[in-house]
Amino acid sequence: MFLNNLFFFAVPELINIVMRFLTGMVTAKILGPEKLGIAGAVALILMYSSLLQMGVFDGMGLKVYALKANNKSTPVINAFFSTAYIFVNGILLIASILLCSYLYYFKKLENILWLGIMVNIAISFLYQFFNFTVGHARFDYQYKKVGNITGAGYIIRALLTIVLTYLYQLKGFFISLLIGYIFVDIYGWFVVRPKFSKIFRPKMVKEMLVLGFPMIVIGALFTVFQSIDRWFIIKCINIKQLGYYSIIMTLSGFLLIGVIKAVSLLTQYSREYYAKTKNINHIIYGYFQFSVFFIIINIFLIFFAKEGMFYLFKYYLLKYQPSYKIASPVLISTFFIAMFHIVGTFFVVINKK
């Protein structure tokens, strides 16, 4: 069962890596460093929006695994899903109104920036719906459905991004992101058919917050760590330099996709296993094996990625050649980020948040 689910989980992620690489390289060449910097700046909205759930989704995950381990009824599980979804979208709506009000009254922004901001806000809501839909399939171990949804989404978004960016530059880039997420949400709904109810139980929110908030605190620190450099570049240097930085971060980020997704699958099985058996030794052994495998693979990937970047900037992304100067430290940092993620999820599994 695990290997079967791993196949349907891994194939879409391989598609994701290929599609994101092709899309990233083509759009970077079309837009140039300055426009890519603008896209990277407004993307911070989407990055921070994931923190607004305040740990509710993380707590929901722990509750659902525990309920399934104890063979609790489906209506109870659906109630947790619906309560979490309604709560998070309510918080997201309030935050969006406050952000737009502040920017409208206190900042003078160009139309293209407003477009990027509004698109990223809309995607934040669409992404919550995606989590709600795919979450139902994942918790039921329906990884074939998850694979179909995510794989189709990666391909459609890549094609839309390349075509619309080529035709309409930065405006087309933003619009393509919005259309892509709308497609994925509609397709996901028809594939999974999740049961949504209007149930909202404050008591469940409290339970999920108690479990998940410590986890989101760590996630918040991790997000700040990943984004504070971008704020420094925007504030102290200029948006074009952010474009140089964004391309190298995008390329190095491909090294993290595989390990993060693999850890996600390992964590799902480990949570349910630990909830049933409380056998911490088996969990430690499993994570130890995974870590050793990751370290060996990562050393080779960093080496080949560094060489690949050299030729990429030399022959294709000529405008981004200054980015290569920071390739080595950024690539090495991906190793420590990945290990932080592995260790963090291990403690989550054994409820040591």
pLDDT of residue 85: 87
The residue among 171, 164, 230 whose CA lies nearest residue 23 is: 164
Residue 70, token pair as written in the block: 């104890």
DSSP string, 208-219: HHHHHHHHHHHH
> Sign of the CA dihedral 40, 33, 100, 153?
negative
Task: Say what the pLDDT of residue 71 is.
Answer: 64
pLDDT of residue 320: 85
Are the C-beta atoms of 12 and 264 separated by less than 8 Å? no
* Per-residue confidence (pLDDT) for residue 72, from 0 to 100: 64
Report the C-alpha gap between 242 and 252 in whole angstroms.
Answer: 15
> Could you tell me where the DSSP H helices lie in the chain?
2-49, 56-69, 74-106, 111-139, 143-192, 202-236, 239-277, 280-315, 327-349
Please list, in sequence order, all residues whose beta carbon lies within 8 angstroms of the beta carbon of residue 285, skipping any fewer than 6 positions away. Answer: none
Residue 50's SS3 state is helix
> What predicted TM-score, i.e. pTM, was given to this entire model?
0.80
Amino acid letter for position 303: F
Q: How far apart are CA 79 and CA 27, in angstroms?
A: 42
| Token output for 192 | 């999974």
Residue 206 in tokens: 């409290």
pLDDT, position 268: 67
CA distance 78 to 318: 52
Distance CA 234, CA 242 (A): 7
* Cβ-based neighbour number of residue 175 at 10 Å: 18
Distance between CA atoms of residues 50 and 124, nearest Å: 8
pLDDT of residue 295: 81
Rounded distance between C-alpha atoms, residue 98 and residue 49, angstroms:
13
Q: If the chain, 353 residues long, is cut into consecutive pieces of 10 residues, what is the mean pLDDT of each piece?
A: 54 73 88 88 87 81 72 74 87 94 88 93 92 78 77 87 93 94 90 78 84 73 74 76 81 76 72 73 80 82 86 85 84 81 74 59
Q: CB neighbours (10 Å) of residue 315?
A: 8
The pLDDT assigned to 312 comes to 86
How many residues are listed for the chain in this entry? 353
Residues 6+ apart with CB under 8 A from 214: 55, 353
Q: What is the CA radius of gyration of the chain?
A: 21
pLDDT of the residue at 292? 81
